Amino acid sequence: MCDTCGCNITPGNLHLVSGQGKLARTEDGKAAVTVLTSLLHENDQQANHNRLHFNAHHTLAINLMSAPGSGKTALLEATIEALKDEFKLAVIEGDLETENDAARIRAKGVPAVQITTGSACHLDAHMVHDALHGMSLDGVDILFIENVGNLVCPASFDLGHHLNITLLSVTEGDDKPAKYPVMFRAADLLLITKTDLLAVLDDFDPQAAERHLRELANTAPALRISARKGNGMTDWLDWLRQTLAAHRTGLRQGGTSRPSVQPDGILLHGLEPSAVSHSHTHPHHHLLAPPTPLIPRQG
């Protein structure tokens, strides 16, 4: 057997030692194996399992992300107040410590499971899977997952949800989307919160925030709300209603929504779906028929 000069390479096995073949050799005699799998593959597999679970219950799962203190829990409290007679809601809360947020949700009459991560700065699909064991999704229309307050890490982790909502409060800088591009690029909706405070602030321009969002090539709508005072709540609730309806229509047509967190790059490398995790941006599930895009972005 002479691998050095290639004399045992035949037309039949040539493909195995060419650059794309599984047994291609490196200069120092190692076997070069092409892999092209996401480093988050294991999380993504669990996320897809979670997504199947949500879809089986026709539950729309929404991941809420923001810096700490942007108003995620207050938004949920106000949303529950407005929608609790219209939809069945449930919440998964994520914090490093305390059950405070889950307690606030339960006080509104909605079931909530608290994930305490200890020191983990983001939720992942395994944590959400475990939390789902603590609740029933029977009849649940919308499950909100309130992620750990953090503008960095949560954006990278598919939880099996359908949509990302990123909150930005007016007491933060309006250039946050430029500072945290991965997080804001992942938003399917940007919610500018605490807008009642604009009257006493002179350094937050909602249009600038939206402009920075557009520079991330993100077409997501940008809504302005005050959960505490009620400003903009009508548009927010209408967005939720439309989104839920569109999601359910898509499920009936055999597809699913996916959040913008998955890398476009994988798809465009022309990789086989089986060679990578199931994460990709097109609303597509390889076990079901390919659907049309489900959540129409405005703009």
* String marking each residue 21-40 x if it binds other proteins according to CB under 8 A: -x---x-xxxxxxxxxxxxx
Q: Which of 42, 81, 99, 196 touches other proteins by CB under 8 A?
A: 42
How far does CA 274 lie from the centroid of its chain? 21
Q: Is 155 in the site for other proteins (CB under 8 A)?
A: yes
**Structure letter (DSSP) for residue 30:** P
Rounded-to-integer distance, Cα 151 and Cα 166, Å? 9
Vertex 93, ends 84 and 176: CA angle to 5°? 100
Q: Which residues pair with 164 in a beta bridge?
A: 63
From 66-74, 151-159, 202-210, 233-241, span contacting other proteins (CB under 8 A): 151-159
Q: Is 161 in the site for other proteins (CB under 8 A)?
A: no
Q: Which residues pair with 257 in a beta bridge?
A: none
**Structure letter (DSSP) for residue 104:** H
**Structure letter (DSSP) for residue 118:** T
Q: Which of 94, 149, 177, 250 touches other proteins by CB under 8 A?
A: 177
Q: Is 182 in the site for other proteins (CB under 8 A)?
A: yes
Tokens of 37: 């799998």
Q: How many residues of this chain bind other proteins (CB under 8 A)? A: 44
Find the shortest distance in angstroms from Cβ 111 to other proteins: 29
Nearer to other proteins, 84 or 214 (CB): 214
C-beta separation of 111 from 135 below 8 A? yes
Q: Which residues pair with 116 in a beta bridge?
A: 95
| Footprint (CB under 8 A) of other proteins, residues 188-217 | 212, 214-217
Find the shortest distance in angstroms from Cβ 241 to other proteins: 27
Rounded-to-integer distance, Cα 254 and Cα 104, Å? 36
Question: Binding residues for other proteins, per CB under 8 A?
Answer: 22, 26, 28-43, 119-122, 152-153, 155-156, 177-179, 181-182, 185, 212, 214-217, 219, 263-266, 268-269
